[in-house]
A and B are shown apart, each in its own frame.
Chain A
Amino acid sequence: QVQLVQSGAEVKQPGASVKVACKSSGYTFTTYGISWVRQAPGQGLEWMGWISGNNGHRDFAQNFRGRVTMTTDTSTGTAYMELRSLRSDDTAVYYCARDCSSTFCYGDYWGQGTLVTVSS
């Protein structure tokens, strides 16, 4: 069965970086993409961006361009999202989701979420 398993919770200081991993199983990684969505405490969903599992093409929300890096390791079927220059308002649960391969679409399977807390 399709599964996305994310890395564990992180606590970071303001100005630091965080890298979240999303390991896939149960499907051919290169025939889909991965999108990243975050949710601040008590708030709604925020689309961050998408990366193709096939050719590395990416698309990002304007809010995150220049501060986020999305990569994939096709040998292990793992996607990574690194967010730099963390601020307190980056405190959120970060989700990965299986998405379309050639462009972003919808997430049909989701990881369990990774809580990132930014605090001094």
Chain B
Amino acid sequence: ETVLTQSPGSLSLSPGERATLSCRASQSVSSRYLAWYQQKPGQAPRLLIYGASSRATGIPDRFSGSGSGTDFTLTISRLEPEDSAVYYCQQYGNSPGTFGQGTKVEIK
């Protein structure tokens, strides 16, 4: 199965700063089939990005995704307090689907 490794494990930034989250796959993810989710405590995950770079409905444009092959990035350009959450990547190009272990973003 495709193992996804996210880095860093956690980061603490101030409002207005840029966050860069990495997701590295153990093998190439075909057709850029990679998604990003946001999860806040006690809530279900929320889809942010699919197809590596397409924003889901209603997602602010400060969230952007990029990458291909084995290296993918989620960028939050101007952090807001409500962006405090755990972020997960998921690949769906290779069976079975797999998630990364998550990156926790804290807003100072």
Chain A residues proximal to chain B, CB less than 8 Å: 35, 37, 44-47, 49-50, 59-62, 95, 97, 104-108, 110-113
A106 lies within 8 A of B47 (CB): yes
Between A and B, how many residue pairs show CB distances below 8 Å?
Answer: 62
A35 lies within 8 A of B88 (CB): no
User: Would you give the shortest CB distance from A20 to chain B, in whole angstroms?
Assistant: 14
| A110 and B40 alpha carbons, distance in the complex (Å) | 14
Return the contact of B99 from the options A47, A49, A111 (Cβ within 8 A). A47
Interface of B is mostly: loop
Chain B residues proximal to chain A, CB less than 8 Å: 1, 33, 35, 37, 39, 44-47, 50, 56-57, 86, 88, 90, 92, 95-102
B99 lies within 8 A of A44 (CB): yes
Question: Which of B86, B88, B92 gathers most chain A CB within 10 Å?
Answer: B92
Return the contact of B50 from the options A47, A104, A105 (Cβ within 8 A). A105
